[in-house]
Amino acid sequence: MTSGHDDVAYQGEPGAYSEAAALRFRPGAAARPCPTFEEVFQTVAEGRATYGVLPVENSVGGSVHRNYDLLLEHNLPIVAEVELRVVHCLLAVPGTTLPDVRRIYSHPQALAQCDRFLRSLEGVEVVATYDTAGSAKLLRDQRLHDAAAIASERAGAVFGLSVLRSGIEDFAGNITRFIVVARTDTTPPEATDKTTLVFAVKSVPGALFTALSVFADRGIDLTKLESRPLRGRPWEYLFYVDLTIGADDSRLADAMAALPASTTSVRRLGSYPSARASALAAETG
């Protein structure tokens, strides 16, 4: 990723993993914390930030469904993605020891990613909160000596907490994938190698198979298929797909032209450089 001075909005408090992703995308940028994912979208849509960084998937905890829904509600194209290795720490007010801990606070995704560690503790209540770094802030603000938070090491430093345990996630390959949204897409088509689409299929037998065959027949690989309920139409679904193809590849236009035969709606949410391509460009550039 290139450096710059654009504002980048993210959900959470300073020290959140989303802040780290924002600064990986734009080192040196002004990172703007927002209380909710919706506020991140609104901040970008209203021009109060140039970009918004949002988690969409974790390699252990799965998809962040709310952000898939918000992508459809807002007309902000995806312009990049970021992958971040997540290392969870158990944080506490200085002087607190592990036997003192009776409650552990964190975001539901972080709790799910540390399930094995949490199950090893006895007599400890697990409390879900809105944010990992926000949980660290809660400990600091309320001076809770009988509680701990699961968050990043940086969150501990930001809020003056001690690290009781580090690397408590269940799997070492704990990676969160973030997307970057903007009001306008200025990425040259030839610099993109990934595309995200969303479509709804017709209510006929084999419609999803036919839609997916559009990509297979053209040699387009799918790296993600996510279904979400189609609001107002019970038991009907939208399908989000990530494709390993850029905007300048003629197969993409050809596939989108063929999709209406088996779908009721198709929308391209963005073509952008993949995290892997961006990392390679940074290494060689």
Cα separation, 177 vs 277, in Å, equals: 14
In the residue annotation, 178 being an active-site residue is answered as: yes
How far, in Å, are 248, 263, 271 from residue 198 at the CA level? 19, 10, 13
> Are the C-beta atoms of 241 and 225 separated by less than 8 Å?
yes
> Are the C-beta atoms of 241 and 269 separated by less than 8 Å?
no
The residues near 66 (Cβ < 8 Å, ≥ 6 apart) are: 37
What are phi and psi for residue 74, nearest 5 degrees?
-115, 150
Cα separation, 150 vs 155, in Å, equals: 9
Choice among 37, 159, 178, 239 that is catalytic: 178
How far, in Å, are 12, 88, 100, 106, 139 from residue 147 at the CA level? 20, 16, 7, 11, 7
In the residue annotation, 284 being an active-site residue is answered as: no
Choice among 176, 187, 196, 263 that is catalytic: 176
> Are the C-beta atoms of 129 and 16 separated by less than 8 Å?
no
Active site residues: 176, 178
